[in-house]
Amino acid sequence: MPRVQNIKKQFARFMDLPSEAVMNTAEVRVVGHMEVTITNHRGLVEYTTTVVRVNSPQGTIVVSGKGLFIEYLSHDELKLGGKIAGIDLQ
């Protein structure tokens, strides 16, 4: 499997394509302390106002903070708002 991923990575680089699209990996974008967008997620595992756990191909992405809320949720993208304190990949 790592070999397949490596080939995909080389292909994406060669073709100048976004690697998360070719390699099927999650992309996490953070704007300051107030916004996190997760693309290519695999579903919500847990949602409270202090912790949000999201499944991804690479594991569980854990966003912690205060007053967390989901700005929007679609089949491939999830945007979180609130006061973000930390992001972990477990």
Partner 1 sequence: MTAVLWTWFVGYLVVRFKGPNVERVLNAAAQNGIVLWRIERLTTDIVVARLTVQQFKELRPILREFRVGAAVFERQGFPFILAQLKRRLFFIVGLAAVSVMILYLSSFVWFIEVIGSEDIPADHILDVAVTNGLYSGLPKTAVNTAALEAALLSNFPDLAWANVRVEGTRAIIEVVERQKDEYDPSVIGDIIAAFGGVVTDVFVARGTALVHPGDVVEPGDVLISGTYYDTRGQRQQGRAQGKVLAKIWREAFAETALFEDYQLETGQTSTQWRLKLGKIMIPLGPGSRFDAYRTDERVWQLKIGTIGLPIQFVRRTFHEVEYERRYLPQHLVEEKAREAAWSVLERQGVDRTKAEEVHISTVPVPDAEAVRVIVAVRLEQNIGEFQPH
Q: Which residues bind to partner 1, rule: CB under 8 A?
A: 43-49, 68-75, 78
CA distance 73 to 20: 19
Query: Which one, 12 or 73, has the nearer CB to partner 1?
Result: 73
Task: Tell me how far, at minimum, the Cβ of 3 lies from partner 1, in Å.
Answer: 31
Which tokens in the block code for residue 87? 């992001």
Query: Which one, 30 or 70, has the nearer CB to partner 1?
Result: 70
Residue type, 62: V
Task: Tell me how far, at minimum, the Cβ of 74 lies from partner 1, in Å.
Answer: 5
Query: Which one, 12 or 45, has the nearer CB to partner 1?
Result: 45
Which tokens in the block code for residue 82? 């609130």
In terms of Cα–Cα distance, which of 70, 77, 2 is closest to 41?
77
